[in-house]
Amino acid sequence: DSGVTQTPKHLITATGQRVTLRCSPRSGDLSVYWYQQSLDQGLQFLIQYYNGEERAKGNILERFSAQQFPDLHSELNLSSLELGDSALYFCASSVSTSYNEQFFGPGTRLTVL
Amino acid sequence: QKEVEQDPGPLSVPEGAIVSLNCTYSNSAFQYFMWYRQYSRKGPELLMYTYSSGNKEDGRFTAQVDKSSKYISLFIRDSQPSDSATYLCAMGTGRRALTFGSGTRLQVQP
């Protein structure tokens, strides 16, 4: 158990809908990272937050957004969902703002029908 | 060409074998090197973390980094069926997001 929690474990929804994925980092970690993992794309970095502020953006679509709250938990919002958004979404956390030792949560499996 | 190349496998070995997993990379600015183990549909688990060149050992696992050749390796001694998983290498500069390999699927046959 990495200490990073994610909810929900599974999410099934329809195209055009909006969902919110939640992540709680390890105790003491200030950075949160979101990743998408699909079969044909591997692990893709989406976005990073550090202590409530956005620090880096990767391959995140404009339909996706995230935020980190004062208690350091983070939410990833996915809107206008398409079939191709079906994937595993992972949250990771680390102590500092550098991108090194990251600890991953168990993931949320999103299925868009 | 990808920044990090990793053979997808699958790599099938008998129980007790020594396993060698490798990644090559092109970005000479990488200084931090990690290996993650990912069981099917689970989150990646950090196995080894190495800064710069050299070797690091932890139990049955040894990580090697050769920056001159831009090549990193993970060795697993006395492999067990429970080691069957996908192994992801990851590396970073410390200033931007980690770059992950595509993963090597390992199967250890009892």
The pLDDT of residue B87: 97
Q: For residue A13, what are its two tokens?
A: 């929804």
Residue B93 pLDDT > 90: no
Q: What is the mean pLDDT of residues A2-13?
A: 96
CB B108, CB B81: distance < 8 Å: yes
Separation of alpha carbons B10 and B105, rounded Å: 5
Q: Tell which of B39, B100, B104 to mutate to test the A interface (max A CBs under 10 Å).
A: B100
Please state, rounded to an integer, the average pLDDT across all residues of chain B: 93
Min Cα separation B15/chain A (Å): 26
The pLDDT of residue B65: 96
DSSP-based three-state secondary structure for A85: helix
Q: What is the pLDDT of residues B15-35, one digit of tens each?
A: 999 999 999 999 999 999 999
The pLDDT of residue B9: 86
How many CB contacts within 8 angstroms connect chain A with chain B? 58
Locus of tokens 């190349």: B5
The pLDDT of residue A60: 94
Does residue A60 belong to the interface with chain B, where contact is any CB pair within 8 Å?
A: no
The pLDDT of residue A105: 97
Q: What is the pLDDT of residues A46-96, one digit of tens each?
A: 999 999 999 999 989 999 999 999 999 999 999 999 999 999 999 999 987
Chain B's closest residue to A39, CA to CA, is B102
CB B81, CB B69: distance < 8 Å: no
Confidence tier at B52 by pLDDT (50, 70, 90): confident
Confidence tier at A99 by pLDDT (50, 70, 90): low
CB B17, CB B75: distance < 8 Å: no
Q: Tell which of B27, B42, B48, B56 to mutate to test the A interface (max A CBs under 10 Å).
A: B42
Question: Of the given ranges (A40-44, A48-52, A66-70, A108-112), which has the lowest mean pLDDT?
Answer: A40-44
Separation of alpha carbons A59 and A36, rounded Å: 9
Please state, rounded to an integer, the average pLDDT across all residues of chain A: 93
Chain B's closest residue to A107, CA to CA, is B43
The pLDDT of residue B2: 84
